[in-house]
């Protein structure tokens, strides 16, 4: 699909837009990492040893 | 809007935003959030239960994010009037750094995440109150009251006053009388704080068509109402000691702080009608911020000292 696109149809972001996009991507990645770590620790704290107490 | 479109589309017709993470952080109204964090933390710590420190931190974080989300929704809705006032014209949406739709999505996602997080970490009573607070600020205050009545910040002030109750509810799963007193302090403090600002920003509010009290009832009436609200705020500030929820030491500190508030409000009431510099109103605005941090700080210290001593 991409290969059939003419060069006129493609849009090239400016350097500033690329820089902003990269910064936003890093911020989203960091936020997601924090979210996952928080949920993990909350689960351990809330459930404690009972986290292992489940039917297999 | 034209500015936003030009920056985002760059004449290509395809969206490329130049918004940096800091612009999204600004949507959360970090200065308001700092007040929310502090008062919610005081509510949590003052509750008579022992809490896991990690759960406490995450609960406060969830409340802060919820408050920030409501700030983003407020900025999304108010972008049209924000661009008319010097105080708000540089916010991310009116300055063209963030598109309105992005701010709306950001606010909605964070609202849902913060409520869910508080529900899972603390309890669903606290989460429900957080959800109600977001709704109250974004819909009842921003979309309805703000542009329709001079009582906008009086009623809307409830949204800013709920955090200590949310904190207390997060710790105990209930609403205590102590947390309702903390609610009252912020609720009654809001009118003198914002009307002091509205006095020296009257022209800007008038240009934006927001019916703040000085624009509707006049300066003299506003100055009298500021003084009246300062008196009841002072009473609410001392109330925790009067009800036996705090020590005499807190009572003395709160009395001194409250006398200061009443003094500054008195200066505003006695302000000359021809005074356009409005130094007393600016002084009251600044002192009112110190007052709230002072009252909550004193209450926090009192609770911690009593707990260590007891």
Q: Model confidence over B20-56: pLDDT tens digits? A: 999 999 999 999 999 999 999 999 999 999 888 999 9
Of B85-89, B104-108, B129-133, the one with minimum mean pLDDT is B85-89
**Is A20 close to B55, i.e. CB distance below 8 A?**
no
Please say whether the beta carbons of B145 and B208 come within 8 A: no
Which residues of chain A are within 8 Å of residue B15 when distances are taken between CB atoms?
none
Of B236, B301, B249, B230, nearest in space to B45 by CA: B301
Q: Does B10 contact A13 at a Cβ distance shorter than 8 Å?
A: yes
Band the pLDDT of B101: cuts 50, 70, 90.
Answer: very high
| Residue to substitute from B6, B7, B8, B10, interface A, most A β-carbons within 10 A | B10
Provide the number of CB pairs (under 8 Å) joining chain A to chain B. Answer: 43
**Facing A23 at nearest CB: one of B21, B117, B121:** B21
Q: What is the rounded average pLDDT of the residues B92-110?
A: 95
Q: With 0.95 as the threshold, say if the pTM is over it.
A: no
Which pLDDT does position B10 carry in this prediction? 46
Chain A residues lying within 8 Å of B7, measured CB to CB: none
What SS3 state is found at A8?
coil
Question: Which residue ranges form the domains of chain B, and what is each CATH number?
Answer: 19-175 (1.10.357.140), 177-304 (1.20.120)
In this prediction, residue B14 carries a pLDDT of 47
Mean pLDDT for B214-221 is: 96
B interface with A, Cβ–Cβ below 8 Å: 10, 12, 14, 16-21, 24, 52, 54-55, 58, 113, 117, 120-121
CA dihedral B97, B103, B107, B109 (to 10 degrees): -110
> What residue in A sits closest to B14 (Cα-Cα)?
A11
Average pLDDT estimate for B119-141: 97
Q: For residue B44, give how far its alpha carbon lies from the nearest alpha carbon of chain A (Å).
A: 17
Is pLDDT above 50 for B205? yes
Dihedral sign for Cα B75, B81, B85, B86, please: positive
Q: Which residues of B touch A35 (CB under 8 A)?
A: 113
Between CA B299 and CA A33 the distance in angstroms is: 35
Give pLDDT, residue A43. Answer: 87
Q: Calculate how close chain B gets to A45, using CA atoms only, in Å.
A: 8
Rounded CA-CA distance B213/B223 in Å is: 10
Distance from CA of B122 to the nearest CA of A (A): 9
Asked if B16 and A38 come within 8 Å (Cβ–Cβ), the reply is no
At residue A3 the predicted structure's pLDDT band, cuts being 50, 70 and 90, is: low
């Amino acid at each position: 699909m991409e290969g059939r696109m003419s060069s006129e149809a493609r849009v090239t972001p400016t350097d500033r837009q690329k820089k902003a996009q990269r910064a936003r991507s890093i911020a989203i990645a960091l936020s997601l990492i924090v979210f996952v770590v928080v949920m993990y620790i909350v689960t351990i704290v809330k459930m404690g040893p009972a986290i292992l107490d489940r039917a297999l | 809007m034209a500015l936003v479109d030009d920056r985002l589309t760059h004449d290509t017709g395809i969206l490329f935003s130049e918004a940096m993470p800091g612009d999204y952080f600004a949507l959360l109204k970090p200065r308001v959030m700092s007040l929310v964090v502090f008062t919610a933390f005081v509510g949590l710590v003052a509750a008579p239960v022992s809490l896991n420190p990690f759960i406490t931190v995450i609960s406060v974080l969830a409340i802060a994010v919820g408050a920030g989300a409501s700030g983003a929704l407020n900025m999304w809705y108010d972008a049209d009037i924000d661009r008319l006032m010097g105080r708000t014209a540089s916010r991310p949406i009116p300055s063209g750094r963030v598109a309105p739709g992005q701010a709306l999505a950001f606010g909605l996602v964070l609202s849902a995440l913060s409520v869910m997080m508080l529900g899972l970490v603390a309890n669903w009573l606290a989460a429900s109150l957080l959800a109600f607070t977001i709704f109250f600020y974004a819909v009842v205050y921003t979309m309805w009251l703000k542009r329709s009545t001079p009582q906008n910040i009086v009623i809307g002030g409830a949204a800013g006053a709920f955090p200590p109750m949310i904190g207390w509810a997060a710790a105990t799963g209930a609403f205590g009388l102590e947390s309702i007193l903390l609610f009252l302090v912020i609720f009654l403090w809001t009118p003198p704080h914002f009307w002091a600002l509205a006095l020296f920003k009257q022209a800007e509010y008038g240009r934006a068509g927001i019916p703040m009290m000085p624009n509707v009832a006049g300066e003299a009436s506003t100055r009298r109402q500021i003084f009246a609200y300062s008196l009841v705020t002072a009473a609410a500030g001392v109330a925790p000691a009067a009800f036996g929820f705090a020590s005499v030491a807190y009572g003395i500190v709160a009395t001194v702080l409250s006398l200061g508030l009443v003094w500054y409000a008195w200066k505003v009431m006695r302000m000359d009608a021809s005074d356009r510099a409005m130094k007393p109103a600016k002084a009251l605005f600044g002192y009112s911020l110190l007052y709230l941090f002072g009252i909550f700080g004193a209450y926090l210290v009192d609770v911690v000292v009593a707990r260590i001593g007891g």
